[in-house]
Amino acid sequence: MSNTMKLSEALTKDELRELRKKSDLRALATLVWNWGLIIAAFAVAIIWPNPLTILAGILILG
């Protein structure tokens, strides 16, 4: 008895079309953001070697 809703019920066809559109620029931005986050997590743990910063890095990296 789950109350699941289809995506097509929540969004219009134009909104769905916009979300499904592929974009090389958006993909590149996502890739750069992800690698930047990984580098930042390692850098913070290296610069400030503290159990909390290491734990935060582990949580960020998943």
Q: Is residue 48 part of a domain?
A: yes
Quote the pTM value: 0.66
pLDDT in tens, 5-59: 888 888 899 999 988 999 999 999 999 999 999 999 999 999 999 999 999 999 9
Q: Is residue 38 part of a domain?
A: yes
Q: Is residue 1 part of a domain?
A: no
Phi/psi-derived region of residue 21, left when phi > 0, alpha when psi is between -120 and 50, beta in every other case: beta
Q: Is residue 29 part of a domain?
A: yes
Domain that holds residue 34: 23-62
Radius of gyration of the chain (CA): 19
Q: How many separate domains does the chain show?
A: 1
Band the pLDDT of 1: cuts 50, 70, 90. low
Single out the residue of 9, 28, 53, 6 nearest to residue 61, CA to CA. 53
Q: Is residue 47 part of a domain?
A: yes
**Helix 51-61 / helix 24-47 crossing angle, nearest 10 deg:** 160
